[in-house]
């Protein structure tokens, strides 16, 4: 299989192949969860979306990554009790054939023990993966050979969070920056080529689940790490703390990716609700513009998201709350303008992922055209605006397979959007569906 993968990669490098946009990491090419390809369909057909291909895989929460004609995804094959094997799979983007795989023994001690959580990251011929109990690998993307590896509990003394390691790592220049969670090593920077440690920073009794992000504030490039006790800004070159704003989060539920617009930074949590910061352009500090008053998952104000990364366009915020409420907020005040359950269902932890479609980076004027993937496996095209939710079409993308405490069956895996297609997985298969206008 490795020989097949090598031949395939040589064909990609040497042949006259033209690629559309890739989705090489969590959040896509710019790590902002926006789909910018042109030439997509206007409306989805009724029923189940036809597949380009479907490939059997095992269970997992981690979304796929797509680049250079290859698809990378992780899963877990059960053993006895908590024993089992995590796997990293590389598939042919054209037909779903597995080109190489790497698997390793992996004992789970985390809650919801249904596979890896973190989306792989592909960069300069290497693929980086993080397993649920802290196995970090750097592979040769074409062959699957291990270049370097770490194990967070062994190498850094990490005490795993209750729901396992979920944050997808970040490539910054020659660094791989990732949430680790050891003492004085909440965040660690590695040389992406060798695995040598560059720096480590921060300490927190809880680790959280939020991926590290790089944002530019007025020309100041800042590494933002939202963790259960604070939002911290670091100098990405050395890990030195620029500023911190305390925000104590119940149960360590820092999950939703922070959202930036201009000099503002928005975060939202399941229990503790929302907070908007204004960040100084010289990295000297940040102030709270507004903060929600409710710390209840039921009696909520603003937005109390669990897994949904909201849309923040400068004037409004759109996201899914703690019990499935798709809401719109005024970003200046945090005031709720409307909510609906039409795209979701009503229940604890109900979720949908929101992917705005902005062809060529064009910013919408009167609302967002959004692809929503809800936890029932449906894909929806809708318009979100201050006036409300306007659904345009809906189809079944992939069947939900994960029982949730006897309440319902769900899928909690973020799709990838690349090559005018959507790539989605559940606990049984990964599929590719063509959404090109042709």
Grade residue 19 by pLDDT with cuts at 50, 70 and 90: very low
Identify the pLDDT of residue 304: 96
Residue bearing tokens 């079409």: 393
DSSP 134: S
Label residue 45 exposed, middle or buried (CB < 10 Å: 0-12, 13-18, 19+): exposed
Report, as an integer, the average pLDDT of 153-163: 97
pLDDT at 15: 37
Per-residue tokens: 149? 């590896």
The span from the first CA to the last CA of the chain, in angstroms, equals 33
DSSP one-letter string for 170-203: EEETTEEEEEEEETTEEEEEEETTT--EEEEE--
Please state, in angstroms and rounded to a whole number, the distance separating the CA atoms of residues 263 and 278. Answer: 6
Rounded percentage of the chain residues whose pLDDT exceeds 90 = 86
pLDDT bucket at 84, cuts 50 / 70 / 90:
very high
pLDDT at 430: 98
Domain hosting residue 95, numbered range? 2-434
Question: Who wins on pLDDT, 154 or 1?
Answer: 154
pLDDT digits (tens, 9 = 90+) for 385-418: 999 999 999 999 999 999 987 789 999 999 999 9
What total number of domains does the chain contain?
Answer: 1
Is pLDDT larger for residue 148 or for residue 366? Answer: 148
pLDDT higher than threshold 90 for residue 53: yes
Residue 407's pLDDT is: 81
Residue 51, domain CATH: 2.130.10.10
201-214 pLDDT, tens digit each: 999 999 999 999 99
């Amino acid at each position: 299989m490795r020989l097949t993968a090598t031949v395939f990669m040589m064909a990609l490098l040497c042949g006259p192949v033209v690629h559309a946009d890739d989705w090489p990491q969590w959040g896509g090419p710019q790590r902002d969860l926006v789909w910018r390809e042109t030439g997509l369909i206007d409306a989805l057909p009724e029923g189940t979306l036809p597949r380009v291909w479907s490939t059997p895989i095992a269970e997992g929460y981690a979304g796929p990554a797509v680049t250079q004609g290859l698809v990378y995804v992780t899963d877990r094959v059960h053993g006895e009790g908590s024993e089992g094997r995590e796997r990293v799979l590389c598939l042919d983007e054209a037909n779903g054939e597995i080109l190489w795989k790497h698997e390793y023994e992996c004992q789970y001690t985390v809650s919801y023990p249904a596979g890896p959580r973190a989306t792989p990251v592909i960069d300069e011929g290497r693929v980086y993966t993080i397993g649920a109990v802290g196995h970090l690998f750097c592979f040769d993307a074409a062959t699957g050979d291990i270049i370097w590896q770490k194990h967070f509990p062994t190498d850094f003394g990490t005490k795993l969070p209750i729901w396992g390691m979920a944050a997808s790592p970040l490539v910054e220049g020659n660094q791989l920056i990732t949430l680790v969670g050891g003492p004085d090593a909440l965040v660690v920077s590695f040389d992406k080529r060798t695995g040598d440690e560059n720096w480590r920073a921060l300490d927190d009794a809880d680790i959280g689940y939020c991926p590290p992000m790089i944002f530019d504030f007025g020309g100041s490039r800042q590494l933002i790490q939202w963790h259960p006790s604070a939002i911290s800004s670091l100098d990405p070159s050395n890990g030195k703390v620029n500023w911190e704003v305390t925000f104590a989060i119940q149960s360590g539920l820092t999950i939703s990716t922070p959202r930036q617009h201009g000099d503002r930074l928005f975060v939202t949590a399941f229990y503790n609700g929302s907070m908007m910061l204004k960040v100084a352009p010289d990295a000297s500090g940040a102030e709270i513009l507004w903060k929600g008053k409710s710390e209840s998952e039921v009696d909520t104000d603003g937005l109390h998201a669990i897994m949904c990364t909201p849309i923040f366009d400068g004037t409004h915020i759109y996201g899914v709350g703690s019990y499935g409420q798709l809401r719109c907020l005024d970003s200046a005040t945090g005031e709720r303008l409307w909510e609906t359950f039409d795209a979701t269902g009503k229940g604890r932890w109900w979720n949908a992922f929101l992917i705005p479609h902005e062809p060529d980076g064009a910013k919408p004027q009167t609302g967002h055209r959004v692809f929503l993937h809800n936890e029932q496996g449906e894909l929806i095209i809708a318009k979100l605006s201050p006036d409300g939710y306007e659904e345009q079409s809906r189809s079944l993308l992939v069947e939900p397979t994960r029982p949730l405490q006897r309440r319902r069956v769900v899928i909690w895996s973020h799709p990838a959007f690349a090559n005018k297609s959507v790539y989605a997985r559940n606990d049984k298969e990964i599929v590719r569906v063509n959404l090109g206008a042709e």
